[in-house]
Structure 1
Amino acid sequence: MSLTVIATAFALVLPVELPDKTLFASLVLATRFAPLPVFVGVGTAFGLQVAIAVTAGSLLSLLPEALVSGVVAVLFLVGAIVLWRSARSGPEDAGEAADVREQTSFLRAAAISFGVLFAAEWGDLSQLATAGLAARLDAPVSVFIGAWAALLTVSGLAVFLGAKLADRLPVALIRRVAAVLFLVFAVVAAVETVRTLT
């Protein structure tokens, strides 16, 4: 195990994930569910994604870029629609938001969080960066630890902020803003798909 490789992977992945879609997805999940199961689900999804990236190494970068960006565009478009529609049916004040978060079982909230992040992370820059590092450096365990630590840091910040926002802002507003962000990500991914095909 190499501390230099761990630090390199952490320093490479952290800034890539800070403005990323997965940060916003984690934040939105934390407005719907209790923070701990969201963090467990998201952290587990990130761990599996990092393990896949490290194992596959440079093979992930060989996937057709148009296919990856097209699937991501569809996923985010569906996410935007679901978020926008759920804003109308959600609780309107912070007290009700806390009650709704408490009604969802730990396992269900963790499983939903895992599924959302596992699907959203495919072909992500951090996954490709991790695969590239694993392909270049002969230290897969160190790359795994550094990349996963960076992703856990970002998801921890997002989950903490999401829980605090849900307690202070109307959930409907948070979901509508998130829906708009998801729509923007969908449009960007669709443009990338078209650009790749032409």
Structure 2
Amino acid sequence: MDLTIIALTFMAIAVVELPDKTFLATLVLSTRYRPLFVWIGVGLAFVVQTTVAVAVGKAVALLPTTPVRLLAMAMFLVGAVLLFREGRSHQTDSGEEYADAAGDVHGARVILASFLVLFAAEWGDLSQLLTLTLVAKYDDPVSVFIGAVGALLAVSGLAVVVGKTLLRFVQLHVLHYVGAVVCLLMAALTAYETFG
């Protein structure tokens, strides 16, 4: 277990997830249902999705180093472009469509509904691709898993506890730009490791 990789993964995933639909969907779900149950359901979805991303990333890590680094660099650049585009368009999804998908549920069903809503929404998401890329790049699945799940739980916890207040002070497009810069820095670091 490498604390540097855990911290790097945590930072990268948290910055990418803050302006994401996950944050908004969790925020909206927690305003309609008991927040703790929403957070548990969302957290379980994140654990499953991160496990899949780590497993795929570990398989990719078995490939030769240079192609894996080039793929990682390309993925970071794609992530930066996607985040810049979303930031430029000032995407302001309300997250209501995700809460509507949960329907009218109570108790343990809130956990299941939250799990299902976020599980479906997160497949192929940038954070899942970033997790896969970080495992392939560093070949340390445990550290990346801990950093990624920690970031996802922290961001969803933030959405549950202070989401509405945070959105009053920080505009989503700013968070998109910060996430894009982090992806660019990761691409530059990967390029330096590959060619420098």
Task: Answer whether TM exceeds 0.5 for this pair.
Answer: yes
Q: 1:38 and 2:55 equivalent?
A: no
Question: In structure 2, what is the equivalent of residue 48 of structure 1?
Answer: 48
The 1:35/1:131 distance shift into structure 2, 3 A limit, reads same
Count the aligned residue pairs: 132
- The 5 A counterparts of 1:37-186 are 37-57=37-57, 80=97, 83=100, 104-105=106-107, 107-161=108-162
The 1:27/1:133 distance shift into structure 2, 3 A limit, reads same
The 1:141/1:154 distance shift into structure 2, 3 A limit, reads same
Contact 2:24 2:159 in 1 (8 A): yes
TM-score by length of 1: 0.60
Question: How much has 1:83 moved relative to structure 2?
Answer: 3.8
2: CA distance, partners of 1:81 / 1:16: 19
TM-score by length of 2: 0.60
Question: In structure 1, what is the equivalent of residue 65 of structure 2?
Answer: none
2: CA distance, partners of 1:144 / 1:81: 26
Question: In structure 2, what is the equivalent of residue 28 of structure 1?
Answer: 28
| Letter in structure 2 aligned against 1:108 | R
Runs of 5+ unmatched residues, structure 2? 61-70, 72-92, 166-196
The 1:32/1:81 distance shift into structure 2, 3 A limit, reads closer
The 1:149/1:56 distance shift into structure 2, 3 A limit, reads same
Runs of 5+ unmatched residues, structure 1? 62-75, 87-99, 166-198
Question: How much has 1:31 moved relative to structure 2?
Answer: 1.2
The 1:108/1:28 distance shift into structure 2, 3 A limit, reads same
Deviation digits for residues 78-123 of structure 1, max 9, x if unmatched?
Answer: x639749x8xxxxxxxxxxxxx9xx821x10000000000100011
2: CA distance, partners of 1:117 / 1:160: 18
2: CA distance, partners of 1:81 / 1:42: 12
1: CA distance, partners of 2:118 / 2:152: 11
Question: In structure 2, what is the equivalent of residue 175 of structure 1?
Answer: none
Identity %: 54
C-alpha RMSD of the superposition: 3.0
Question: In structure 2, what is the equivalent of residue 3 of structure 1?
Answer: 3
The 1:81/1:17 distance shift into structure 2, 3 A limit, reads closer
Deviation digits for residues 18-49 of structure 1, max 9, x if unmatched?
Answer: 00000000011101110111110001101111
